[in-house]
């Protein structure tokens, strides 16, 4: 009878290991691998979620800046107040070292266009690769299509603001231009009245 038990044990336990024990060890290894995989996926989803929240918060900040400035222009707030607000907004938005407004002056420095691109004459800057120029940059304030003044922007060393930030900056500058146009329009209206 002992030989029969040994034969049966060998079939059930090849290599001296119980079949059930091997199965449990294999299942445990698979479960650990699945747990690691789930952990990696959950971490990736959390990182993506955080990025999406940051992008949403940035876009909300852009809209808030534009909306606040537009509200002042619509309410006919004085141009110096609108310009002061836009200077503050530009300083934060573009992380500027300095910002000033000059009425009716243009040229003599690189220009930031409405699309956020910076150029000096025919040379365009690769901001993503080289950052912004070290010299001051002109951001024109337009009333309709006519420039009425400019913001002179001095960036911090190594600055490379995002394209969307530069585009929002151009919108804010044009809102200051609209405030100036309203004042000039009101003065012209009073002259003709």
* 99: nearest Cα among 141, 137, 69: 137
Domain 49-192 belongs in CATH node 3.30.450: yes
What's the mean pLDDT when you consider all of the chain? 78
Could you tell me the pTM of the whole model? 0.70
Dihedral angle sign, alpha carbons of residues 13, 17, 19, 21: positive
CA count, 13 A, side-chain hemisphere, 112:
33
By DSSP bridging, strand 118-120 and strand 111-112 are: antiparallel
Q: How far is residue 156's CA from residue 113's CA, in Å, rounded to a whole number? A: 19
Position 48 confidence tier, pLDDT thresholds 50, 70, 90: confident
């Amino acid at each position: 009878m002992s030989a029969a038990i040994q034969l049966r044990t060998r079939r059930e336990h090849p290599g001296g290991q119980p079949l059930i024990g091997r199965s449990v060890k294999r299942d445990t290894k698979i479960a650990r691998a699945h747990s690691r995989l789930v952990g990696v996926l959950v971490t990736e989803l959390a990182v993506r979620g955080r990025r999406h929240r940051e992008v949403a918060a940035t876009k909300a900040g852009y809209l808030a800046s534009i909306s606040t400035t537009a509200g002042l222009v619509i309410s006919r707030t004085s141009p110096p107040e609108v310009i002061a607000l836009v200077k503050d907004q530009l300083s934060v938005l573009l992380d500027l070292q300095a910002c000033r407004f000059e009425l009716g002056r243009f040229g003599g420095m690189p220009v930031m266009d409405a699309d956020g691109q910076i150029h000096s004459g025919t040379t365009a800057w690769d901001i993503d690769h080289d950052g912004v120029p070290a010299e001051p940059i002109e951001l024109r304030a337009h009333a309709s299509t006519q420039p009425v003044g400019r913001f002179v922007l001095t960036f911090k060393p190594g600055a490379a603001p995002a394209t969307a930030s530069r585009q929002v900056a151009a919108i804010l500058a044009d809102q200051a231009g609209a405030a100036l146009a309203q004042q000039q329009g009101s003065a012209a209206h009073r002259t003709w009245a």
